[in-house]
Structure 1
Amino acid sequence: MRVAEISLPAIRHNVARVRELTGGAVIVVVKAGGYGHGAAIVAAAALEAGATIIGTADLEEALALRESGIDGPILCWLHGVRADFADAVGADIELGISDLDQLNKLADAAAQLGKRATLHLKVDTGLSRNGASPGAWDELFARAAELEAAGTVRVRGIFSHLANAGDENDRLQAARFDEAIAGLRAAGVEPELQHLAASAATLRSPHLHYNAVRVGVAAYGLSPFADKTSAQLGLIPAMTLRSEIVALRGVPAGTGVSYGFNHVCETPTTLALVPIGYADGMPRALNGAGAWVTVAGEPRPIVGRIGMDQFIIDVGPLAGRLKLGDPVVLFGDPERGYPPVEIWSGLMRTINYEIIASIGPRVLRVPVDGDAA
Structure 2
Amino acid sequence: MSETTDRQGAALRGRAEIDLGALRGNVRALRARLAPGAALMAVVKADAYGHGAIPCARAAVEAGATWLGTATPQEALALRADAGLPDDVRIMCWLWTPGGPWQEAIEAGLDVSVSGMWALEEVVAAARRAGRPARVQVKADTGLGRSGCRPGRDWEELIGAALRAEGEGLLRITGLWSHFACADEPGHPSIAAQLTVFKEMTAYAEEQGVRPEVRHIANSPATLTLPEAHFDLVRTGIALYGISPGPELGTSADLGLRPVMTLSASLALVKDVPGGEGVSYGHHYTTPGDTTLGLVPLGYGDGVPRHASGTGPVLIDGKWRTVAGRIAMDQFVVDLGGDRPAAGSDAVLFGPGDDGEPTAEDWAQAAGTIGYEIVTRIGSRVPRVHRNG
With the length of structure 2 as denominator, give the TM-score of the two structures: 0.90
Alignment equivalent of 1:5, drawn from 17, 28, 38: 17
**Which residue in 1 is equivalent to 2:212?**
191
* Residues 1:43 and 2:57 are matched in the alignment: yes
Structure 1 residue 193: Cα displacement: 0.7
Alignment equivalent of 1:161, drawn from 164, 179, 182: 179
DSSP 3-state at the match of 1:366: strand
Alignment equivalent of 1:15, drawn from 19, 27, 35: 27
Structure 1 residue 365: Cα displacement: 1.4
Deviations 1:113-148 (A, max 9, x none): 112211211111111111111122222222222332
Which one-letter code corresponds to 1:340 in the other structure?
T
**Which residue in 2 is equivalent to 1:151?**
169
Tell me: CA distance 1:366–1:123, structure 2 relative to 1, closer, same or farther (3 Å): same
* Residues 1:353 and 2:365 are matched in the alignment: no
Counterpart CA distance in 1 for 2:318 and 2:55 is: 28
Range 327-336 or range 191-200, more displaced: 327-336
Alignment equivalent of 1:126, drawn from 111, 129, 143: 143
Unaligned segments of structure 2, at least 5 residues: 1-12
DSSP 3-state at the match of 1:139: helix
DSSP 3-state at the match of 1:118: strand
* Contact 1:43–1:70 under 8 Å retained in 2: no
Alignment equivalent of 2:254, drawn from 229, 232, 238: 232
Alignment equivalent of 1:90, drawn from 95, 98, 107: 107
Identity %: 43
* Residues 1:210 and 2:228 are matched in the alignment: no
Alignment equivalent of 2:297, drawn from 275, 285, 290: 275
DSSP 3-state at the match of 1:54: strand
**Which residue in 1 is equivalent to 2:94?**
77
**Which residue in 2 is equivalent to 1:170?**
191
Which one-letter code corresponds to 2:110 in the other structure?
I
Counterpart CA distance in 2 for 1:63 and 1:358 is: 22
DSSP 3-state at the match of 2:254: helix
Range 34-43 or range 169-178, more displaced: 34-43
Structure 1 residue 196: Cα displacement: 0.6
Alignment equivalent of 2:48, drawn from 14, 28, 34: 34
Which residues of 2 match residues 285-296 of structure 1 at below 5 A?
285-289=307-311, 291-296=312-317
The number of residues matched between the two structures is: 367
* Contact 2:310–2:322 under 8 Å retained in 1: no
* Residues 1:338 and 2:357 are matched in the alignment: yes
* Contact 2:321–2:334 under 8 Å retained in 1: yes
* Residues 1:255 and 2:277 are matched in the alignment: yes
* Contact 2:275–2:291 under 8 Å retained in 1: yes
C-alpha RMSD of the superposition = 1.7
**Which residue in 2 is equivalent to 1:325?**
344
With the length of structure 1 as denominator, give the TM-score of the two structures: 0.94
Which one-letter code corresponds to 1:145 in the other structure?
L
- List structure 1 runs of 4+ shifted beyond 3 angstroms: none
Structure 1 residue 151: Cα displacement: 2.6
* Residues 1:221 and 2:239 are matched in the alignment: no
Deviations 1:273-316 (A, max 9, x none): 11100111112232223x22011232122212211100111223
Unaligned segments of structure 1, at least 5 residues: none
Which one-letter code corresponds to 1:127 in the other structure?
L
* Contact 2:138–2:176 under 8 Å retained in 1: yes
Counterpart CA distance in 1 for 2:382 and 2:273 is: 30
Counterpart CA distance in 2 for 1:70 and 1:184 is: 35
Counterpart CA distance in 1 for 2:102 and 2:67 is: 19
